[in-house]
A and B are shown apart, each in its own frame.
Chain A
Amino acid sequence: QKEVEQNSGPLSVPEGAIASLNCTYSDRGSQSFFWYRQYSGKSPELIMSIYSNGDKEDGRFTAQLNKASQYVSLLIRDSQPSDSATYLCAVNTYNAGNMLTFGGGTRLMVKP
């Protein structure tokens, strides 16, 4: 079992819709969670961090964390074609020496 799992996609949504990206993790002791956006051939860019159960909103982005169920999600409201990218979930994994463990990423396609 991978430590951080994401559906690879592609997830296709129409422009203006809500895109929902999900991530599960295996290390129950994890305390810090991050979402990165990566355009093709570019470096990952940090867009959200979340540490407590519940929702955290930043503009069109909402991160959701449920530690009991060991999942973290990212909602993108009013999706735009410029949101088309691969979204990486990263979890601070204490079992791995406090490294960030990355999921394989979900490719999002927003169609005009």
Chain B
Amino acid sequence: DADVTQTPRNRITKTGKRIMLECSQTKGHDRMYWYRQDPGLGLRLIYYSFDVKDINKGEISDGYSVSRQAQAKFSLSLESAIPNQTALYFCATRTGDNYGYTFGSGTRLTVV
């Protein structure tokens, strides 16, 4: 099983719908992140969490919300999806400052 699991892998949804992307990890890391990746724009940070009670906005948090249900689970919600939220979304975990991120396999989201 993958260390960082994202569901769903692919999702097509309609404008205005609420959608949740889920992330779970078995690595025991406290730090979890949500990124989106768009062609030409690279990886951009949406939200991050350093523990269950610590949630922080990233550079592009508008239109998104998150929930850290447990150390191992970090969900990203789009309250009312819009087409420019079509992107590849990655969850990542990290154990400390001097370590890299471990990424999940990603969710390809299309908003029509």
Considering the complex, give the chain B residue whose CB is closest to the CB of A47: B100
Whether A34 lies near B100 (C-beta < 8 A) is yes
Given that A32-B97, A42-B105, A90-B100 are known contacts, is A102 also in contact with B43, CB under 8 Å in the complex? yes
- Bound CA–CA A79/B25 (angstroms): 33
Which residues from 26 to 68 on chain A have a C-beta closer than 8 Å to any C-beta of chain B? 31-32, 34, 36, 41-46, 49, 51
Partner of B42, one of A43, A97, A105: A105
Does residue A100 face the partner (Cβ distance < 8 Å to B)? yes
Complex CA distance for A110 and B99, rounded to whole angstroms? 29
Q: Is B101 an interface residue (CB 8 A)?
A: yes
**B45 interface contact, C-beta 8 A:** yes
A100 to B59, CA, bound (A): 13
Q: Could you tell me the distance in whole angstroms from the C-beta of A63 to the nearest C-beta in chain B?
A: 12
* Other-chain contact of A100, B40, B41, B56, B100 (Cβ < 8 Å): B100
Q: Is B88 interfacial (CB-CB < 8 Å)?
A: yes
Contacts of A49 in B (CB 8 A): 99-100
CB-defined interface of B34-45 with A at 8 Å, one 1/0 digit per residue? 000000111101
A: residues with CB less than 8 A from B are: 31-32, 34, 36, 41-46, 49, 51, 88, 90, 92, 97-100, 102-105
Excluding A51-B98, A88-B42, 20 further A-B contacts by CB distance (< 8 Å) are A31-B97, A32-B97, A32-B98, A32-B100, A34-B100, A43-B103, A43-B104, A43-B106, A44-B43, A44-B103, A45-B103, A49-B99, A88-B43, A90-B100, A90-B101, A92-B98, A98-B97, A99-B45, A100-B94, A105-B42
